[in-house]
């Protein structure tokens, strides 16, 4: 009877060890998947930010071309305000 208990205990320990190894392998796969998904998401976000920047730059350029005197007036006003703030500081 004692040999049967030892055999069952050893089988249970081996089964538990195998389950732990399977769990480790699954966790490694999961970590790789999450890392790849995050990398792809970051790449997509970077592309969207670049596109938004290009669109904003094109809009600003077109506005300056369409209204050059207004652009110069705004630039002068901002420069004056910055100069006054720097002088008071």
**pLDDT for the residue 50:** 96
- Count of domains forming the chain: 1
Q: What is the pLDDT of residues 3-42, one digit of tens each?
A: 676 677 778 888 888 999 999 999 999 999 999 989 999 9
Q: Is the dihedral of CA 76, 81, 83, 84 positive or negative?
A: positive
pLDDT on residue 27? 94
**What is the domain extent for residue 77?**
2-88
63-84: pLDDT as tens digits: 999 999 999 999 999 999 999 9
What pLDDT is attached to residue 11? Answer: 81
């Amino acid at each position: 009877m004692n040999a049967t208990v030892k055999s069952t205990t050893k089988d249970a320990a081996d089964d538990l060890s195998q389950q732990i190894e399977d769990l480790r392998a699954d966790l490694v796969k999961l970590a790789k998947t999450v890392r790849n998904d995050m990398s792809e998401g970051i790449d997509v976000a970077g592309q969207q930010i670049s596109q938004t920047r290009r669109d904003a730059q094109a809009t600003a350029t077109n506005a300056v071309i369409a209204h050059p005197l207004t652009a110069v007036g705004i630039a002068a006003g901002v420069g004056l305000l910055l100069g006054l703030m720097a002088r008071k500081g």
